[in-house]
């Protein structure tokens, strides 16, 4: 099985690219979705987050207040490292298990979407890495459309490896400016080559 890693900067089109890969018949596991699963009620990671960060990052129904937690961890490097220590090994365990399951099924190709692929030193797990990128202006506009403030955007971008470095370290770059069909065509070409 060919195993591909898909990465890129925040707001640069990874989820859209993952959707196109699914349409192209490629199996996809998204680590953001795994992270969401890990912080559901009853999960051990959620209990650790409560212990580490306290009730201030929880809603009255006991569920995680993701916005409050994000505000805290993107304003404080130490807090972010503590959250990553709770989540990253669990996330890797889950996607690795999914990949192994696909290997047993003899699936020809699979993709793992990992925003922090290089930051978590996961690159050795993959045959090829695709980076989805766009201009800083488009990235900023997309993140503003999510309702983030300029300050929130700056902190999220600063928490990741610069996209230029991600592009340089990847085997393929998909430029996600313009029409979605252009992104889809680039991905189809890459999958064809691999």
Is 11 in contact with 141 (CB distance < 8 Å)? no
* Cα gap 190→1, rounded to integer Å: 16
Which residues have CB under 8 Å from 164's CB, separation 6+?
none
What was the pLDDT predicted at 177? Answer: 93
| Spans of the chain below 70 pLDDT | none
The per-residue pLDDT for 178 is: 86
Task: Give how far Cα 138 sits from Cα of 15, 36, 72, Å.
Answer: 15, 26, 26
pLDDT at 104 (0 to 100)? 97
Tell me if the pTM is above 0.85: yes
Please write the tens of the pLDDT for every residue from 33-51: 999 999 999 999 999 999 9
Please report the pLDDT score of residue 13 as a whole number: 96
Which range of residues forms the domain containing residue 117? 2-193
How many domains, the chain? 1
Q: What is the CATH number of the domain that holds 86?
A: 3.40.50.300
């Amino acid at each position: 099985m060919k195993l591909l890693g898909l990465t890129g900067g925040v707001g640069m089109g990874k989820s859209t690219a993952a959707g196109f890969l699914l349409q192209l018949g490629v199996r996809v596991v998204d680590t953001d979705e795994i992270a969401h699963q890990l912080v559901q009620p009853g999960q051990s990671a959620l209990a650790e987050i409560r212990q580490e960060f306290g009730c201030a990052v929880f809603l009255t129904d006991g569920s995680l207040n993701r916005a409050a937690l994000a505000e805290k961890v993107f304003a404080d490097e130490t807090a972010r490292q503590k959250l990553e220590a709770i989540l990253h090994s669990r996330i890797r365990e889950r996607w690795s298990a999914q990949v192994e399951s696909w290997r047993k099924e003899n699936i020809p190709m699979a993709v793992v979407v990992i925003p922090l692929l290089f930051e978590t030193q996961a690159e050795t797990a993959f045959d090829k890495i695709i980076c989805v990128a766009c201009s800083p202006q488009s990235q900023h506009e997309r993140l503003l459309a999510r309702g983030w403030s300029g300050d929130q955007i700056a902190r999220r971008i600063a928490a990741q490896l610069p996209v230029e470095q991600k592009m340089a370290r990847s085997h393929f770059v998909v430029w996600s400016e313009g029409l979605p069909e252009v992104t889809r065509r680039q991905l189809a070409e890459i999958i064809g080559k691999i």
